[in-house]
Amino acid sequence: MSQYTPMIQQYLRVKANYQDAFLFFRLGDFYEMFFDDALKASQELEITLTSREGGTEERIPMCGVPYHAAAGYIEVLIQKGYKVAICEQTEDPKQAKGVVRREVVQLITPGTVMEGKGLLEKENNYISSFTMFDEVTFGIAYTDLSTGESKATILTGTHEVLLNELSTIGMKEVVVDSNLDSELKKKITDRMNVIISIEENIENDNEFNNIITRLSNEKLKTTAFRLLHYLKKTQKRSLDHLQAFSEYEINQYMKLDYYSKRNLELTESIRGKGSKGTLLWLLDETVTAMGGRMLKQWIDRPLINETQIVRRLDLVETTLHHYFERQELRELLKGVYDLERLSGRVAFGNANARDFIQLKKSLMQIPAIVSLVKQLNQSEAQRLVDQLDPCEDLTELLEKSIIDHPPLTIKEGGIIKDGFHKELDTYKDASRNGKQWIAELEKEEKQKTGIKSLKVGYNRVFGYYIEVTRANVHLLEEGRYERKQTLANAERFITPELKEKEALILLAEEKCIDLEYALFMEIRETVKTYIPRIQQAAKIISELDVYQSFATVSETRHYVKPIFNNKRQIHITNGRHPVVEKVMGSQEYVPNDCLMDSEREMLLITGPNMSGKSTFMRQIALTAIMAQIGCFVPAEKADIPIFDQVFTRIGAADDLISGQSTFMVEMLEAKNAIANATKNSLILFDEIGRGTSTYDGMALAQAIIEYIHDRIGAKTLFSTHYHELTVLEEMLVQLKNIHVSAVEQQGKLVFLHKVKPGPADKSYGIHVAELANLPKELIARATEILRELENEQSRDTKNVDNREHVNEQLALFAEPTKSKYSDHERKILDELRQLNIMDMNPMQAMNSLYEIQKKLK
């Protein structure tokens, strides 16, 4: 250390405590970075890398950003997953003896962002902590620092249970102890876009008593303390807005694992990773940011308690049937700002006068909202608004104190209304009268001197002055004016009267600004005391917003109120896939019925590619989820059970990050469903087994079907291209065949998208390739090859029982048989036979056929 200058030594001492963060080190009007921070930041922020002397022969790498523009640069780093430590000067440089004292005032991380573009208004920004108490017991606590919402739960199970809950929370940062298992840490970072932070302190702290008061479990308190100590250490300011942790159990909600949420595209699309094309995108007609966040939370956690579900549905029904009241409610909600995040800014000390105007305007909407909702004449709606507190005394305070259009800054005055504070009014009057005197002085001096261009001006260095152009200086009365400053084309003067008045004006302005700032800080402290009441109002307004959103979507898209039964029956009449229907727009969507009862526990779905098998399966799951979050559903009638879990295996995608093939992903998702499903679950399996060879795939598909049918009994929709499996209807009493129909018209394939009883008669794979506009020559050759293969299979399988054929495995070392083909041709035929055409896209099929044709030639 001794080789460096005192300032660099100070930097290194501070940096030693923030090795995992960029250190923004305040030097005058800039935040500077040095050494490795400078090298990396110059690349990430695309700013100039320079250097400076630091006491050693080699110059030290350095880069910096202006302090007034730092927020934008910090935001870029946070969005890229970095942390930023803000190190400020904590003493006046003029009074410092030696190096100015500096210390870190805040550590900004992805999980502790309070403002900026990275904080999406309709998404929570959670930071979570978890503690492993043994191999199967985990405590989880999480909070959104920007809104104050805090929750905690105990989990029992494997790492997969923990990972699934963490992905459901969707946090940006996770806080753990340093002994976290490295394999688990890798799983977390591989699956979720989060950073991992370390906090060892789990001790009780009286400062947190109000936040942990509702936690009865000591394990949860331990986990919550870890998170709270981390927030206290990094934010170094009030956490008064954090709400008391609410304890929940994951069994209170429908379980949707990571794979199912991804496959069903509930809140994030598979391709674009955005919200467009998701259930959230479809249902989001919320007006407030708070309502948007609550809607996402409801979709992530559908209910399983029928009473709670019906309560929501009844409120949606009431709102739907009161069109004019609903439209008026939407207009009122447009005047409500984000009360939760406003509360967070107040507690954090970030709130400015404009935030208070937004708060006032929001609170002023509440009485009208209460009156309007009472007109609905519905008991649950009445119960909700009875808890809606307009905080009238706070509204009155803000109305009296803050001007309607205040400046952004709180340190330059111009915030407080006249009449709010007597002493402040006195200073304001002195300042205004002084400025009037200045205006009068300018007028008088022009008359006395006859100089029309004479003016009285002001700057911070010289104060008030009289400015006269050089050409007119000779017109001034000698002895009365004192020269103050010489410019290129003018002279500036002062007079004794001007100097005396200047002192009075500047003193009044200075006093005015200081007093306004002090009064604003007092008002902010008063607003802090209202935070719990504001947060309670925010929750109720959010809920009302979600109900009107559901009602608006349900009316626009002609959804119906679902009915629930305890007989485990699914009876959906003319059901639709809600998202596909919206995307299709003016095109007519083909609706389909779904009937499942004690005699139809499983549906085996066949039909050509693109016919709509996956869409049909997804719409059943989405109908169940929409019903259980309290929304109307896309059907003419929906009488369904309440599902405890939904499992899906839809689509084929390699998990390249973890090095898993399509088939391995298939098997892992199938295993998850088989291991955890109950008879009250819903399982959707789309073409299980297609990721391996034909006979392997068929054997596994049949075994899975039999296992679910015989051992689990869950409602299951199973689509397949293995037509041989349709014989299972004769052997499994609760399995029924259905198919999505298509017809040939003049040699062309036409999809009807209609689900009908019984198996499909053929696959139509080559017809689908023809629809993809593959070359006609290629299609003709594929048809010829298919005919040859079907003839050969017909000969080989003659008089062989169908079920034995399903379970048959190709021998690895089969005896060679005599054939009309040459050895070379037989090899090519074997290669062709092993191709799984149904698992190929058109381009892959064309490439494969081209290679075979080339070998034959």
Give the pLDDT confidence score for residue 813 in this predicted structure. Answer: 38
As given in the structure block, the two tokens for residue 545 are 């917003």
In a 10 Å sphere around its CB, with 0-12 CB exposed, 13-18 middle and 19+ buried, how is residue 747 labelled?
Answer: exposed
Binding-site residues for ATP, please? 607-614
**Fold that domain 563-763 belongs to in CATH:** Rossmann fold (3.40.50)
Q: Name the nearest CA neighbour of 538 among 390, 739, 696, 425.
A: 390
Is 25 within 8 Å of 11 (Cβ atoms)?
Answer: yes
pLDDT at 776: 73
Estimate to the nearest angstrom the gap between the alpha carbon of 829 and the chain centroid.
51
pLDDT of residue 779: 65
pLDDT tens-digit series, residues 697-750? 788 888 899 999 999 999 999 998 888 889 999 999 999 999 988 776 666 666
Contact status, residue 170 vs residue 266, Cβ threshold 8 Å:
no
Binding residues: 607-614
Residue 676 CB contacts under 8 Å (≥ 6 apart), including other chains: 255, 645, 647
Element (H, E) at 640: strand 637-640
pLDDT score of 766: 60
> Which pLDDT value is given to residue 816?
45
Domain topology for 6-108:
MutS, DNA mismatch repair protein, domain I (3.40.1170)
Spell out the residues 6+ positions from residue 526 whose beta carbon is closer than 8 angstroms to its own. 394, 397
pLDDT at 786: 66
Where along the chain do the CATH 3.40.1170.10 domains lie?
A: 6-108
CATH 3.30.420.110 intervals, the chain = 126-252
Token pair 């052997």: residue: 731
pLDDT less than 70: residues of the chain: 1, 272, 651-662, 690-694, 744-750, 761-773, 779, 782-783, 785-786, 789-790, 792-821, 837-843
CATH 1.10.1420.10 domain position(s) in the chain: 284-391+530-556, 422-525
User: Distance between CA atoms of 235 and 79, rounded to whole angstroms?
Assistant: 18
pLDDT of 45:
95
3-state secondary structure of 798: coil
Domain covering 422-525, topology:
MutS, DNA mismatch repair protein; Chain A, domain 3 (1.10.1420)
Instruction: Provide the whole-model pTM.
Output: 0.82
Mapped onto helix, strand or coil, the DSSP state of residue 445 is helix
The per-residue pLDDT for 30 is: 95
Q: Where in the chain is the domain with CATH 3.40.50.300?
A: 563-763
Structure tokens at 358: 């937004």
User: What is the DSSP secondary-structure string of 703-749?
Assistant: HHHHHIIIII--EEEEE-S-GGGGGGGGT-TTEEEEEEEEEEETTEE
**Confidence at residue 401, expressed as pLDDT on a 0 to 100 scale:** 96
Compute the CA torsion angle 745, 749, 753, 759 (nearest 10 deg).
90
How far is it, in rounded angstroms, from Cα 569 to Cα 366? 43
CB 578 within 8 A of CB 266: no
Element (H, E) at 628: helix 613-629
Transcribe 374-392 into DSSP letters: HTT--HHHHHHHHT----H
Q: How far is the C-alpha of 286 from the C-alpha of 296, rounded, in Å?
A: 11
pLDDT in tens, 82-134: 999 999 999 888 888 889 999 999 999 999 998 887 788 999 999 999 999 98
CA distance 643 to 627: 10
Q: How far apart are CA 354 and CA 363, in angstroms?
A: 14
What pLDDT is recorded for position 402? Answer: 95
Sheet holding 592-596, edge to edge: 563-564, 637-640, 570-575, 592-596
Q: Are 84 and 94 in contact (CB under 8 A)?
A: no
Domain 126-252 fold? Nucleotidyltransferase; domain 5 (3.30.420)
Q: What is the CATH number of domain 284-391+530-556?
A: 1.10.1420.10
In three state form, how does the secondary structure of 127-157 look?
Answer: EEEEEEEECCEEEEEEEECCCCCEEEEEEEC
